[in-house]
Amino acid sequence: GAGVSQTPSNKVTEKGKYVELRCDPISGHTALYWYRQSLGQGPEFLIYFQGTGAADDSGLPNDRFFAVRPEGSVSTLKIQRTERGDSAVYLCASAGAGGDTQYFGPGTRLTVL
Amino acid sequence: QKEVEQDPGPLSVPEGAIVSLNCTYSNSAFQYFMWYRQYSRKGPELLMYTYSSGNKEDGRFTAQVDKSSKYISLFIRDSQPSDSATYLCAMSAGGAQKLVFGQGTRLTINP
């Protein structure tokens, strides 16, 4: 079956602009995670959804970052007033009901000029 | 100090060698331990998954967890050039909890 998909694969924007990053999880997976990976580093947790609700948003760096999952499937990560330091690869992962194995998408490479 | 420490390398070995990768961690609440492989410009791919302490083998890969020492390892036997990638250790305190990753070790297998 299809894996986790993310769109766009690349996004270049200017400082101060608003961006939306989309994640389509594996069909039937109830848990969805967002991570951010900077160059040469491991992924860092941002937010975790169980169904439609955010079960843990402790990794969001500030209030410019927001994520939604309105129907419990597709999720959108929204970044307002982008800064150059937001440049990174944004990874999405999903997991089944047991939640113990996370499967990652290919990521969206965000570049803020 | 980071919760999970991993030597970033780079590590370069000849084809056929045994590779040893490892991570240390500080949070004794971690119960689930994973190794992911990440090729350049791709997402992490799950290689091995271990719950609590012990060993797990899958083909050429062996994962070991020593909770008393807070130390985990991944061994790759008969290494192949296609194993060249970045290897990430990851761990969590609960089944559906967030993963905490190491920095990743960049591995190159030379033909």
Q: Name the minimum distance, in Å, from the CA of A98 to any CA of chain B.
A: 7
Cα distance between residue B64 and residue B74, in whole Å: 6
Which band of pLDDT confidence, cut at 50, 70 and 90, is reported for residue B22? Answer: very high
Query: Which of A4, A40, A101 lies at the smallest CB-CB distance from B8?
Result: A40
Any chain A CB within 8 A of the CB of B97?
yes
pLDDT at A1: 55
| Token digits of residue B71 | 């130390």
Cα distance between residue A92 and residue A70, in whole Å: 16
Any chain A CB within 8 A of the CB of B85?
no
Which band of pLDDT confidence, cut at 50, 70 and 90, is reported for residue B53? Answer: confident
Query: Is residue A41 predicted with pLDDT exceeding 90?
Result: yes
Condensed to tens digits (0 to 9), the pLDDT of residues B54-98 reads 899 999 999 999 999 999 999 999 999 999 999 999 999 986 789
**Residue of chain B nearest A90, judged by CA positions:** B43
Percentage of chain A surpassing pLDDT 90?
A: 91
Peptide bond into B81 cis (omega under 30): no
**Do the chains contact at A56 and B97, CB–CB below 8 Å?**
yes
Chain A contacts of B95, Cβ < 8 Å?
A: 98-100
